[in-house]
Amino acid sequence: MSDQIIGLHDWFQTPAGRYLLHWEDAQLESAVADIFGYHALQLGVPQLQGLRANRMPHQWLGMPTPESVPGIAIPPTTLVTDYAALPFSACSLDLVVLPHTLELSADPHTTLREVERVLVPEGRVVICGLNPVSLWGLRQRRAHALRRLGAGDLFLPDCGEFIGYWRLRDWLRLLGFEVEEGRFGCYRPAVRSETWLERWAWMDRAGPRWWPIVGAAYFLVAVKRVRGMRLLGPAWKTASAGAGAPVPVVQRSQRPGFTQK
């Protein structure tokens, strides 16, 4: 495979792309299954059905262009929208899934601020990204350097910019998000053939223990916190005043001129 692979869809058809999709699909399925609410949105990358395991009644897929993706069934609830100006009112969504959305966005800061705007307090954002501090990231940087010299063979699609895991956490913290969970995955080297990917499968077992932060991909879930807000629990959890509650008793005062013996 040559550096002609510049599209994300084409790259997802490669063995490395399918390997990445498989890992991210498993993370998304386990993360969104128990997130409750009414309205959920996924922005981009229809190859990852990030809301499939979620049970919210209203779900949308946001796409930057009306073009369909070959071989991918686009749901009828697809929205053609600018990620920096989502067609939702403030505090109206319970869940937003961003599979590589920030990397592909022309302005990831504005996109993330827009996600914070449309999320309800205690709403959640789920993010998948490629880790620049990984074997895949190193190979991509090396290929970019060689291309300046007239050579080089890109391993990843040349259609976005890596955002580091800790850098992203800083962005989220500045917007009032609290990261609930984060993890790395896809520790196998940047090889293109299915055979070599299988030969390096043992690295997925050893990676979380020996080099946990150098996986090719990362995954995190963050919750929107609103300072000064207090969530009230269901009414049935409120303790009712029972018979044992203290009752004030008014005592009769003594009449003047009388002395109690």
What pLDDT is attached to residue 151? 67
Within a domain: 261: no
pTM: 0.82
Compute CA distances 48 → 64, 97, 171, whole Å: 16, 10, 24
57-82 pLDDT per residue, tens: 999 999 988 776 766 777 777 899 99
In this structure, is residue 68 part of a structural domain? yes
pLDDT of residue 109: 94
Residue 132 lies in a domain: yes
What does the block give as tokens for 107? 């302005």
Query: CA nearest 218: which of 30, 38, 56, 28?
Result: 28
Question: What CATH number is associated with residue 16?
Answer: 3.40.50.150
Question: Given this model, what pLDDT does residue 157 score?
Answer: 81
Domain that residue 188 falls in: 8-228
Number of domains in the chain: 1
Mind spelling out the 3-state secondary structure of the chain?
CCCCCCCHHHHCCCHHHHHHHHHHHHHHHHHHCCCCCCEEEEECCCCCCCCCCCCCCEEEEEECCCCCCCCCCCCCCEEECCCCCCCCCCCCEEEEEEECHHHHCCCHHHHHHHHHHHEEEEEEEEEEEECCCCHHHHHHHHHHHHHCCCCCCCCCCCCCCCCCHHHHHHHHHHCCEEEEEEEEECCCCCCCCHHHHHHCCHHHHHHHHHCCCCCCEEEEEEEECCCCCCCCCCHHHCCCCCCCCCCCCCCCCCCCCCCCC
Describe the crossing of helices 165-174 and 108-118 by its angle, rounded to 10 degrees.
Answer: 50
Asked, for residue 36, whether it belongs to a domain, the answer is: yes
Q: What is the pLDDT of residues 84-100, one digit of tens each?
A: 999 999 999 999 999 99
Residues of the chain with pLDDT below 50 are 1-6, 238, 240-241, 243, 253, 255, 258-261
250 assigned to some structural domain? no
In a domain, 197, yes or no: yes
Q: What pLDDT shows up at residue 161?
A: 83
Measured at the CA of 14, the angle between CA 27 and CA 195, to 5 degrees, comes to 90
Q: Does residue 246 form part of some domain?
A: no
Residue 248 lies in a domain: no
